[in-house]
Structure 1
């Protein structure tokens, strides 16, 4: 395969070949505005000229933040055209993280989009950072506006040239501990991974459509949606408000849909609100009606033309995968990390083994180390962490393989399974080691649970801390507790005595980015759970009879 053009070269190619074809679709207060390839390219070229006019030099860092929107893409493309380094910031990034990243990356300018709690975010940005407001309602006032800058500058005639191995963007990992690390991405990294996607998940002749709602500051949405849309090509529709995901999904009907486990559990909950499980089971037993019901549900969800439905970031409980499969929706689990451009393994239609994270890409260079760690070596791997030689050295083995930190195995048919994290294994006071991930996975059969975390360091026996989903919080407590105890007993039958769950703690509040228990990419902050609940768990251990403790 010949080498792919870099993303902005590809954008200009699309704009030249199909200038009037629709590309980005943006809702503003419920009214949709579409942008063609030609319009997107021209806006990005005008903004590139504006950034250069402000005195920014090739290699300077520029941030984009706010909810996903069409101008987030255009701002990123403008950085690419001007030879600048694009840095995504989560709209709910903590103020400490914003301060750290702004200083560490040396951010010179920032595009500000719509976001909740903008005041704290903007206060954390250094005063010398030039602020540019994206053209959306409710965006905090900035020194410059997108419309004024674009109108005042002619389109940049030629993209600023840079080497294929120069820094294209910095993606700061949200991290469950310590300061975020700036993962370097180059044009070479992007070209390699996109070539793999085009090979294994080629565009359908009928056209491709994405719904962009997962954080664009994360490597997955940036690569699998923003960058991939340039090459497939694909039309991209944006979500205006998170609360409108069900109705927007039903309207957009994407051909490829990506989500994290929490999204799929909430989609399941939404269906069960309208159609109770007992009724679904009854209808599914009727040969002719069952096919009609499946089709109706898929269309109601907006997944009726989705040929690729992917779940990632964390394990999706097997019961949820099987539940969707009965409706004719194959939710395929994939695997990767920011440091390897989210390029390791994936299940594909017709090649799906439930419980696995798929077969490694043919060029992923994946191996299982002696200690069980999954390691990979390919051209999508980051050159390292920005301004952090020590952490970069820790990321790679002596012979150049990237350490994922995940433990796993490959079965006889080539499917990869994750068995836990290398560093998440804890030792109880009995001196026994426990790997939490497999036990948490088994507890995933209980559909009342939204998030969970098995802890045991400093305890004689592991305990499970969990939060309930919104529907479960409305049920009688006795009913929920009986279900939790039943699941605990079933799980305990399958593990060693030292791994058995001795108690369950049901937290008062849902876990979120706001309360610090989840990362912006919806991963559980295990260290925060241990810190927040460690003292309580130690006290509860003395009560031998207690099985379920309700925080409230």
Structure 2
């Protein structure tokens, strides 16, 4: 890094933005960390002080320039402070999922060659720690609660660093070609891959999406709860809050999530489809659908009730409301739209900074994931339909994986692995994944995601996986919603059969689902059947249930309940 005059820079990285807000609004609250019934507030000035002290400490360790520094923690105020300290001290930020097991953490630490690791808010550090070599220098975040000790008493303590080191005085800034971060994918198949992203990539993505993300708002607020190590939360919360000088609120725990969100009242909010479904179920638990439908038909009353629901969730001030990571059922989009919650679909992946397309609020085209962003080129393979992207914010490659890089980046085009269609207006539709598609015994291609989408309107289904590559026809594994699990079996069976009959009338003969299997165990991150970003691990699900596929397929009933 070089020390330079900020005003002379023709571009702004996150480091530049941070310096700007630290100087111009030192007393404005940047981070709000909930602890029980109160908040620990950290201003831009205080955040700057802590970032600068930690940068001094990191530089005192004598690391080679541009060293990779790891960070493992749930979302919290010091996650962002530590991340900025890594950048300000001239190193590369390498965040990891806080749900990793010890061996998984050990694998990515070894692969990324991190010799320093920030350790923060975690549920089971004792077991995760088994994957960390003794030669990795650990720095522990402070505890937010006086009755809770540091997560690792043997590590260098954050508060000790704050008490014994001086703040960095200079304003070092990165070169555009420098690595900004290495983001490890969530690993739906195989080991996670380290996606290398430069400062230039982030600068270009911010420049081309700033208008639609900032929305010219005088004040921005964010609610951080999805993993900050994932590209979506890194973009929507970290990058956008720092670019706009906003305030970030955090979720303290799953139990306090609803209360924390209602207090935050964010202007920007991102949720995956499963979260939107849970919001819907929460509303319907208090007001049945028939009553809600009746109220929404009455002009004045409908507005009052819709506003009350938006406020109850915490989205009454939200201007940018996004969903992504998985297909969003149209029925769910329309349901929220009736309440005045206009959810914009967005599409991207870690390898292209998650910034391929976004639904314009004034030109909605349902059934697509929005219009391709300015500066992004998209084309599809004429045979397989695979989506390829080219932009100035594509990754530079996978860390220490030249063969994988060469297979994914070809002539400047990133092969996404997603299958889709691009219309004449520049709107993109996703129809599946190349690796998920398989041939039926008669040689026809089956795209499981498109079939699964046909079950989206059945509120009794929380998760579904279409599979059965070796079977004469597909089958679908179903995890019931919480409400459905409390309902009698004949009622649920009848509902599932009705949905299946309707779906099979709309798809090709070879795509028709022969059996619905209601499984007992929900798919979660904890049992390794879901990634931390709520995506199914299809290969793990197949390995878990595969020996039962043929016996289930041979049963007489259409809906089979796992015993």
Q: What CA distance in whole angstroms lies between the structure 2 residues aligned with 1:396 and 1:67?
A: 32
Could you tell me how far 1:243 is from its partner in structure 2? 2.4
Displacement of 1:205 in angstroms is: 3.5
Post-superposition offset of 1:3: 4.1
Contact residue 103 and residue 130 of structure 2 kept, 8 A? no
- In 2, Cα distance between equivalents of 1:95 and 1:169: 22
- Asked if 1:53 is matched to 2:65, the reply is no
Specify the alignment match of 2:367 in structure 1.
Answer: 355
- Tell me what 1:141 maps to: 152
- Map 1:481-520; keep pairs closer than 5 Å: 481-520=493-532
| Runs (5+) with no aligned partner, structure 2 | 1-8
1:428 Cα deviation from its structure 2 partner: 2.6
Partner SS state of residue 528, structure 2: coil
Q: Tell me how far apart the structure 1 counterparts of residues 293 and 301 of structure 2 sit (CA, whole Å).
A: 12
Q: CA deviation at 1:442?
A: 1.3
Answer yes or no: is the 8 Å Cα contact 2:223–2:251 preserved in 1. Answer: yes
TM-score (norm 2): 0.95
Answer yes or no: is the 8 Å Cα contact 2:68–2:114 preserved in 1: yes
Q: 1:253 aligns with which of 254, 265, 268?
A: 265
Partner of 1:112: 119
**Aligned residues of 2:209 and 2:373 also touching (Cα < 8 A):** no
SS of aligned partner of 2:405:
helix
1:231 pairs, out of 243, 246, 252, with 243
Following superposition, the deviation at residue 161 of structure 1 comes to 5.0
SS at match of 2:197: strand
Which of 432, 454, 475 aligns to 2:444? It is 432
Matches within 5 A, 1:50-449: 50-136=57-143, 137=145, 138=148, 139-142=150-153, 143-160=155-172, 162-371=174-383, 372-397=385-410, 399-449=411-461
Cα distance in 1, alignment partners of residues 119 and 12 from structure 2: 29
1:39 matched residue in structure 2: 46
**Change in CA separation of 1:310 and 1:101 when aligned onto 2, cut-off 3 Å:** same
The residue that corresponds to 1:473 in the other structure is 485
Contact 1:189-1:380 at 8 Å conserved across structures: yes
Deviations 1:219-275 (A, max 9, x none): 111122112111112211111102222111111110111011111011111111111
Match of 1:461 in 2: 473
SS at match of 2:34: strand
CA distance in 1, matches of 2:227, 2:118: 15
Task: Check conservation: 1:428, 1:456, Cα contact below 8 A.
Answer: no
Match of 2:6 in 1: none
The CA distance in 1 between the partners of 2:217 and 2:356, in whole Å, is 26
- What is the CA deviation profile of residues 84-139 of structure 1, one whole-angstrom value per residue up to 9, with x for unaligned ones? 11111111013332111111111111111121122111111112111111112444
Deviation by residue 1:275-297 (Cα, 9 ceiling, x = unmatched): 11111011112222111111111
Corresponding position of 1:452: 464
